[in-house]
A and B are shown apart, each in its own frame.
Chain A
């Protein structure tokens, strides 16, 4: 049986970052979802994408993950081989595979080419506080537990960059805090977090820098402290002040 050290040595360790958007646009039929977005996702503290619904946050993350292809512009990845990229994603409504929580993690480990032994599975489940539920069918977990299991699956890929699409959108405060603690822990361990949210409180708690989107356009990007203290654009000022942007 291969051990973790061998797994690591066999994996392509070329950095996945930076991911650079160059005048990227995306349209779904006649609807222009993203317009002329240029930005670079680099190693460092969490980047939080904020903006109202329909501003293009999810589309931007899916483009970065190569789940969608831009209709204009281009996205440059430091690691050209998509399968070798050390990136993972947690969706707003993650799909739980029809098997136990532990088997879900084992599946993600195997998919990442890592040894899916019981010790590694339990270590990951323990990291998200689900070790006691390893044998429970994943679809029988609560919403918050499912989101934490999705995080464990994502972390099983040993990602350099972890994308999260509004991971706490439908969770209560306790479950939200549990997820935020895991995300903060991952960030502290060196994982680049790129997360979308329209919860300003969450953005203040987690963000290192903020990307503010509205109507498919990148309106402003700034370090979190500066963004919240003194937004540079009228749209961002309105959003931070809690006004409706329609």
Chain B
């Protein structure tokens, strides 16, 4: 069966893999945004000892090798690790944690830069209106929302394309933790190219579709919100 047949006939195995991939990656993106957006904004708007070191650390973590993140999460979740008793290793939740760990620094670092630039523009106006620290964070995050969507998409893209970390902490178990990228790697090594190519096409299509939807929403929102 060709790659396109698998895609267009709705092959159940292929689509269960796609479904799990989307679930893991979207969950990781939501978690990374929940942590990274306020963290980035807070670093942008506050001054504290070690701030510059934290910024360098966050920026440096944007280039973390996925296999290293996978290894660290593996050590945390393994039976003898600090989170071992929760029994998360080789589950989709472990994969979400690994992907979130990988992309949270990206979301936080880019948000920090964006909010810091925006703050330079808004500082006097918000200070004159006597807006407090929490209000400033909320206002700047809201006014930067269209650019933040792009940051979230960057995180989503990085997580969706990642293979090393989820392979290590998920184990690539058929029907349980096997996602698109790990399947492509496995099937290619086995010589089953139609499934690998089919999944590759779906992976690219999913990333393009999510970006297109976000772009459309951004365009519509910008038109209505200015």
Binding site for B on A (CB under 8 A): 62, 65, 67, 82-83, 85, 88-89, 91, 94-100, 107-108, 111-112, 136-140, 153, 157
Binds A, one of B18-26, B80-88, B93-101, B122-130: B122-130
Q: List 29 A-B contacts (CB under 8 A).
A: A65-B128, A67-B124, A67-B127, A82-B130, A88-B128, A88-B129, A89-B124, A89-B128, A91-B124, A95-B122, A95-B125, A97-B139, A97-B143, A98-B142, A98-B143, A98-B145, A98-B225, A99-B225, A100-B225, A107-B139, A108-B129, A111-B130, A111-B131, A137-B224, A137-B225, A138-B226, A139-B226, A140-B226, A157-B129
Q: In the complex, which residue of chain A has the Cβ closest to the Cβ of B132?
A: A83
Q: Classify chain B: how many residues form its interface, as a range.
A: 10 to 19
B121 located at the interface, meaning its Cβ lies under 8 Å from any Cβ of chain A in the complex: yes
Q: In the complex, which residue of chain B has the Cβ closest to the Cβ of A82?
A: B130
Residues of A contacting B143 with CB < 8 Å? 97-99
Q: In the complex, which residue of chain B has the Cβ closest to the Cβ of A138?
A: B226
Contact A111 B135 (CB under 8 A): yes
Cα separation A41 to B122 with both chains bound (whole Å):
27
Q: Give chain B nearest CB distance to A169 CB in angstroms.
A: 16
Contact A96 B226 (CB under 8 A): yes
Contact B128 A95 (CB under 8 A): no
Residues of B contacting A137 with CB < 8 Å? 224-226
Known: A82-B130, A108-B129, A111-B130. A99 touches B124 (CB 8 A): no
Contact A98 B226 (CB under 8 A): yes
Cα separation A165 to B225 with both chains bound (whole Å):
27
Q: In the complex, which residue of chain B has the Cβ closest to the Cβ of A99?
A: B225
Contact A111 B129 (CB under 8 A): yes
Residues of A contacting B125 with CB < 8 Å? 91, 94-95
Cα separation A140 to B222 with both chains bound (whole Å):
10
Residues of B contacting A139 with CB < 8 Å? 226
Residues of B contacting A112 with CB < 8 Å? 129-130
Cα separation A99 to B143 with both chains bound (whole Å):
8
Residues of B contacting A136 with CB < 8 Å? 226
Q: In the complex, which residue of chain A has the Cβ closest to the Cβ of B139?
A: A97
Cα separation A65 to B123 with both chains bound (whole Å):
13
One of A83, A96, A97, A100 near B130 (C-beta < 8 A): A83
Contact with A along B134-159 (1 / 0, CB 8 A): 01000100110110000000000000
Residues of A contacting B135 with CB < 8 Å? 111
Contact B131 A95 (CB under 8 A): no
Residues of B contacting A140 with CB < 8 Å? 226
